[in-house]
């Protein structure tokens, strides 16, 4: 979510590359996407399923999750609903057990589920409870799901984790008083939670690089979704195409990148 911010040049100091993977051309992969029953998550699922992969629709609402998966299977695509509330560790553990029993491994995890509770509210107007709620999904939920899925990702020959972030989390943007979209820098809970997510991305990238598991932050651009009251100029479908493309770039490149929706990378 958020207006486009120009990409930066790619940093020159990178960790050693692990096995490469292009999700749009590689052989069949098992992909789990959280918050995938609608919006950018569902659009990403469609893109990857059409590329020939099995997509697991992670959703906390069983009815909506099954409906989303059914919409893809009706197109002849491989999709399945997996009950997963990222704020509930029990559902993450149960989802991991199901994936282990049915597929034996997980090749790609897309931490897409996210909330924004401060849209059109100033930092001083935002209750601290809303900040906590935002962090429960955008930060703690990512840790919960990632740790639950790591044993399955370790069974993949080329595992990949993509964390859906935002250009609004870039410290370069947040500190730029001359930015033409400076007003978006005052989203206290959302922006700071995505900045925390970026830090998690780098920590996991470093911790897992010796195991060959790549971890990068992805950015769909400012897309019209429920998250922002459908105010973005791009569609959720376009956001899904961007995330699918960035997953390919993340798999083929170094670990620990913050990829830009228009190509290149963001400055952290």
Give how many domains the chain has, as a whole number. 1
**Domain limits for position 197:** 30-252
pLDDT-based confidence at 17, cuts 50/70/90?
very low
Instruction: Please indicate, yes or no, if residue 17 is contained in any of the structural domains.
Output: no
pLDDT, tens digit, 9 for 90 and up, residues 122-170: 999 999 999 999 999 999 999 999 999 999 999 999 999 999 999 999 9
| DSSP annotation of 253 | S
Instruction: Please indicate, yes or no, if residue 221 is contained in any of the structural domains.
Output: yes
Average pLDDT of the residues in 21-34: 77
Instruction: Please indicate, yes or no, if residue 19 is contained in any of the structural domains.
Output: no
* Lateral strand order in the sheet of 108-111: 79-83, 54-59, 30-33, 108-111, 160-164, 214-218
Query: Rounded to whole angstroms, how far apart are CA atoms 178 and 72?
Result: 44
Instruction: Please indicate, yes or no, if residue 135 is contained in any of the structural domains.
Output: yes
**Active site (catalytic) residues:** 190, 194
- Whether residue 61 contacts residue 38, with contact meaning beta carbons closer than 8 Å, is answered with no
Q: Which CATH number does the domain housing residue 169 bear?
A: 3.40.50.720
pLDDT, tens digit, 9 for 90 and up, residues 57-86: 999 999 999 999 999 999 999 999 999 999
Instruction: Please indicate, yes or no, if residue 266 is contained in any of the structural domains.
Output: no
Instruction: Please indicate, yes or no, if residue 260 is contained in any of the structural domains.
Output: no
Instruction: Please indicate, yes or no, if residue 24 is contained in any of the structural domains.
Output: no
Instruction: Please indicate, yes or no, if residue 267 is contained in any of the structural domains.
Output: no
3-state helix vs strand vs coil in the chain, percent to 5:
45, 15, 40
């Amino acid at each position: 979510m958020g207006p486009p911010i120009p990409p930066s040049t790619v940093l020159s100091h990178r960790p050693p590359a692990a096995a490469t993977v292009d999700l749009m051309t590689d052989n069949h992969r098992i992909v789990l996407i959280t918050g995938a029953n609608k919006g950018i998550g569902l659009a990403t699922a469609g893109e990857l399923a059409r590329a020939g992969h099995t997509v697991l629709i992670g959703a906390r609402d069983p009815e909506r999750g099954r409906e989303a998966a059914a919409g893809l299977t009706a197109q002849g695509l491989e999709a399945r609903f997996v009950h997963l509330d990222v704020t509930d560790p029990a559902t993450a553990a149960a989802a991991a057990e199901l994936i282990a029993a049915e597929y034996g491994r997980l090749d790609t995890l897309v931490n897409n589920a996210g909330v924004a509770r401060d849209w059109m509210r100033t930092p001083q107007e935002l209750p601290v409870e809303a900040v906590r709620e935002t962090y429960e999904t955008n930060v703690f939920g990512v840790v919960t799901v990632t740790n639950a899925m790591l044993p399955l990702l370790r069974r993949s020959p080329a595992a990949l984790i993509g964390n859906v972030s935002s250009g609004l989390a870039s410290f370069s943007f947040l500190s730029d008083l001359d930015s033409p979209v400076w007003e978006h820098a005052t989203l206290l809970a959302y922006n700071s939670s995505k900045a925390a997510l970026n830090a998690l991305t780098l920590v996991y990238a470093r911790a897992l690089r010796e195991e060959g598991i790549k971890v990068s932050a992805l950015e769909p651009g400012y897309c019209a979704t429920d998250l922002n009251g459908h105010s973005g100029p791009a569609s959720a479908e376009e956001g899904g195409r961007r995330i699918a493309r960035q997953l390919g770039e993340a798999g083929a490149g170094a670990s620990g990148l913050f990829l830009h929706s228009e190509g290149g990378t963001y400055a952290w």
